[in-house]
Protein backbone atom coordinates (compact mmCIF):
# COMPACT_ATOMS: atom_id res chain seq x y z
CA UNK A 1 0.00 0.00 0.00
CA UNK A 2 1.15 3.54 -0.68
CA UNK A 3 0.55 6.89 0.98
CA UNK A 4 0.37 10.07 -1.07
CA UNK A 5 0.86 13.42 0.65
CA UNK A 6 -1.55 15.65 -1.24
CA UNK A 7 -0.06 18.77 0.35
CA UNK A 8 3.30 18.01 -1.28
CA UNK A 9 2.04 16.41 -4.51
CA UNK A 10 2.58 18.52 -7.64
CA UNK A 11 -0.02 16.59 -9.70
CA UNK A 12 2.63 15.79 -12.31
CA UNK A 13 1.31 12.26 -12.93
CA UNK A 14 4.71 10.57 -12.71
CA UNK A 15 3.50 8.03 -10.15
CA UNK A 16 0.61 7.11 -12.44
CA UNK A 17 2.96 6.67 -15.41
CA UNK A 18 5.61 4.56 -13.67
CA UNK A 19 3.36 2.15 -11.77
CA UNK A 20 3.92 -1.26 -13.41
CA UNK A 21 0.67 -2.65 -12.01
CA UNK A 22 -1.43 0.42 -12.88
CA UNK A 23 -2.72 0.71 -9.32
CA UNK A 24 -2.64 4.52 -9.28
CA UNK A 25 -4.90 6.79 -11.31
CA UNK A 26 -5.30 10.55 -11.49
CA UNK A 27 -8.53 11.93 -10.06
CA UNK A 28 -10.45 14.62 -11.89
CA UNK A 29 -8.50 17.30 -10.03
CA UNK A 30 -5.18 15.74 -11.11
CA UNK A 31 -4.26 14.30 -7.71
CA UNK A 32 -3.24 10.63 -7.77
CA UNK A 33 -5.13 7.97 -5.87
CA UNK A 34 -4.39 4.27 -5.43
CA UNK A 35 -7.52 2.45 -6.57
CA UNK A 36 -6.30 -1.13 -6.93
CA UNK A 37 -4.48 -1.75 -3.64
CA UNK A 38 -4.60 -5.52 -4.12
CA UNK A 39 -2.54 -5.22 -7.33
CA UNK A 40 0.23 -3.17 -5.69
CA UNK A 41 3.46 -5.14 -5.36
CA UNK A 42 5.03 -2.30 -3.39
CA UNK A 43 7.96 -2.08 -5.79
CA UNK A 44 8.59 1.56 -4.92
CA UNK A 45 8.59 2.89 -8.49
CA UNK A 46 6.07 5.57 -7.54
CA UNK A 47 8.07 6.76 -4.53
CA UNK A 48 11.44 6.54 -6.27
CA UNK A 49 10.29 8.59 -9.25
CA UNK A 50 8.15 11.21 -7.47
CA UNK A 51 9.95 14.55 -7.96
CA UNK A 52 8.17 16.05 -4.93
CA UNK A 53 8.81 13.15 -2.58
CA UNK A 54 5.07 12.96 -1.94
CA UNK A 55 4.75 9.17 -2.19
CA UNK A 56 5.69 6.67 0.51
CA UNK A 57 5.46 2.88 0.26
CA UNK A 58 4.33 0.87 3.27
CA UNK A 59 6.22 -2.37 2.75
CA UNK A 60 4.22 -5.53 3.30
CA UNK A 61 3.41 -8.69 1.38
CA UNK A 62 3.82 -6.94 -1.97
CA UNK A 63 7.32 -5.93 -0.98
CA UNK A 64 8.19 -9.57 -0.33
CA UNK A 65 6.89 -10.38 -3.80
CA UNK A 66 9.12 -7.67 -5.29
CA UNK A 67 12.19 -9.07 -3.51
CA UNK A 68 11.29 -12.57 -4.65
CA UNK A 69 11.06 -11.36 -8.25
CA UNK A 70 14.45 -9.69 -7.81
CA UNK A 71 16.00 -12.93 -6.58
CA UNK A 72 14.39 -15.11 -9.23
CA UNK A 73 14.30 -12.87 -12.28
CA UNK A 74 16.80 -10.09 -11.61
CA UNK A 75 14.10 -7.39 -11.48
CA UNK A 76 15.36 -4.70 -9.07
CA UNK A 77 13.18 -4.28 -5.99
CA UNK A 78 12.92 -0.69 -4.78
CA UNK A 79 10.90 -1.19 -1.64
CA UNK A 80 11.78 -1.84 1.95
Cα four-point dihedral sign 55, 37, 14, 68 = positive
Quick check: is 80 in a domain? no
Structural domain contains residue 79: no
Residue 18 in any domain: the answer is yes
The average confidence (pLDDT) of the chain is 86
Residue 71 is predicted with a pLDDT of 80
Judge if pTM exceeds 0.75: no
CATH code for the domain in which residue 12 is found? 3.30.70.20
More confident residue, 56 or 41: 56
- The parent domain of residue 60 ranges over 2-73
Query: Residue 37: its pLDDT value, please?
Result: 84
25: pLDDT strictly greater than 80: yes
Choice between 7 and 71, residue whose per-residue pLDDT is larger: 7
| Alpha helix positions (H), 5-50 | 14-18, 45-49
Q: Looking at residue 63, what is its pLDDT? A: 65
Amino acid sequence: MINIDLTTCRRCGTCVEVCPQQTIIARGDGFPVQVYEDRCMECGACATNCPAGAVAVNAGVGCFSAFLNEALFGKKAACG
